[in-house]
Amino acid sequence: MEGGPVVTRFAPSPTGALHLGHAYSALRARAFARMRGGAFLLRIEDIDGARSRAEHVAGILDDLRWLGLDWDGPVTFQSARLEGHAAALDALAARRLVYPCFCTRAEIAEAASAPHGPAAVYPGTCRDIDAGPRMGEAHAWRLDVARAVAAAGPIDWWDEHAGVVSAVPEAQGDVVLARKGLATSYHLAVTVDDAAQGVTDVVRGVDLFDATHIHRLLQALLGLPTPRYRHHPLLVGADGERLAKRRGSPSLASLRAAGVEGPKLAAGLMKDIAPAGYSIGRD
């Protein structure tokens, strides 16, 4: 991708309100593209139909405009690309690189004996079972990472701060690529959609660094181009914890309602200056 036009994107999920961390990521992605005469895209990742809300989409647009942030072309919606995601899943299934999993979240957590982070690494319970008699039951489709790694061979990717990174997707386990009621997963959808939109540089938080190992593997399996990755530090609160929707971090809408000036806030964030009570980690 060296030498070609730069394309970045901001891709929030409309499952809640944006917070300062989202603003920081969007501003960095836009600035990177603008400084290189490239394009900055806005994609709404609304594949979770049960949790996505139209009012959150409207709130995202209001928040970005309040910050003084613009984007190129129309807003795109991930839910409009489900056929492309399904085709990618079918391609993996044709190579026997995915398998149906019937385990519940509780069963997975109980089976995982080692300490784990936000999500347990799947122990492979359903990997080798005869799934035929159970295909009428609710199930997810998991990537058989061991088989996938063998098929892809050695692969790597480039990160702005880490340099060339050898992909080790095995550490993430057999991740879910689709499940009943959710025709695709974050991993599959973001990989397919970034390629479809010609994204050359993925600018996102360092909390997604590990996920890139899986995304690089999917790119190799599906014959998709590999963008450059620029994982930036995260905003944290006074307690040192990163901002997150599920932790009830203050929203941009609440700052706007309190009279904060969006462009002034944006200018500070672009200089790595966070509002009082927040700080930005180191690159």
Render each residue's pLDDT in the chain as its tens digit; 283 residues: 566 799 999 999 999 999 999 999 999 999 999 999 999 999 999 998 778 899 999 999 999 999 999 999 999 999 999 999 999 999 999 999 999 999 987 777 665 543 333 456 898 999 999 888 888 888 999 999 999 999 999 999 999 999 999 999 999 999 999 987 778 999 999 999 999 999 999 999 999 999 999 999 999 999 999 999 999 999 988 777 787 766 667 899 999 999 999 999 999 999 999 998 899 986 5
Q: Which amino acid is at 115?
A: P
Residue with tokens 């995304």, as numbered in its chain: 215
Cβ 175 vs Cβ 191: under 8 Å: no
Tokens linked to 173: 């386990």
Cβ 200 vs Cβ 4: under 8 Å: yes
Select 1-74+233-283's CATH number: 3.90.76.10, 3.40.50.620, 3.10.20.30, 3.30.70.580. 3.40.50.620
Of the candidates 180, 245, 264, 271, the residue annotated as catalytic is 245
Q: What is the DSSP letter of 201?
A: E
Dihedrals phi, psi of 165, to nearest 5 degrees:
-115, 125
Find how far residue 61's CA is from the centre of its chain. Answer: 19
pTM: 0.92
Distance CA(81)–CA(208), nearest Å, equals: 22
Strand ranges, E, within the chain = 7-10, 39-44, 76-77, 98-101, 140-143, 156-159, 163-166, 176-179, 201-205, 228-232, 235-236, 279-280
245 given a catalytic annotation: yes
**Exposed, middle or buried, 151 (CB in 10 Å: 0-12/13-18/19+)?**
middle
